[in-house]
Amino acid sequence: MDKGPRGINAFYRGFSRAVEGIDWLGPLALRIFLAPILILAGLNKLGNIGDVAAWFGNPDWGLGLPAPYLMAWLAALTEFVGGIALLIGLGVRLVAIPLMFVMAVAAGTAHWEYGWHALPEQTLTMPWEWRGDLIEEAVVRKEKATELLKAHGNYSWLTEAGSFTILKNGIEFAATYFVMLLALLCSGGGRWVSLDYWLRRATGGHGGN
């Protein structure tokens, strides 16, 4: 067996061809991951559209957005319909664009002031975290809350389902979903398990993504 550069190149070419044979798994995994999150988020907004609109429009305790009812309906329908489209693989590249817009608006309006992390990470803090002060403050408050719960509550029962933490509410999730949607915008829904693929084949296309 040739272990020199030609052997390495041959191995890599073979490996690349093997991976290309399952390249549809990546888009499928992204779609299956994102679809239920978006569908449930849309359903929750649709079921509480008045409260969502009030939060969108109120400048004191909400986001202070213009046309809050319109924005609430657009966000809810984009998430719900877009989530279903991702699930079945229909118009994946098209629906990725408004969904990315929703994620960008959410990050910029509801989460930006809290920095990057959704939780006050200390050991896994990203270098681009711009609200490290909130992490430090959250640690102090968590220690105090833990002290109070241990003194006045059944702490072992309270933490049986998971350790106690504080929500920092940064843009981490919205940014992650944005990046995943960007990947789908570039890749499409993938082969075999997307309606886009079969519609292209049925209309004389070459399949692909």
Q: What does the domain layout of the chain look like in residue ranges?
A: 22-115+170-209, 120-167
**pLDDT tens readout for residues 139-189:** 999 999 999 999 998 999 999 999 888 999 999 999 999 999 999 999 999
Does the model's pTM come out above 0.75?
yes
**What does the CA dihedral 46, 53, 104, 168 come to, rounded to 10 degrees?**
-100
Tell me the helices (H) and strands (E) count for the chain, helix number first.
9, 0
Give the C-alpha separation, 156 to 30, whole Å: 37
Give the C-alpha separation, 83 to 97, whole Å: 12
**pLDDT tens readout for residues 48-88:** 999 999 999 999 989 999 999 999 999 999 999 999 999 99
Give me Rg for the CA atoms of the chain. Answer: 23
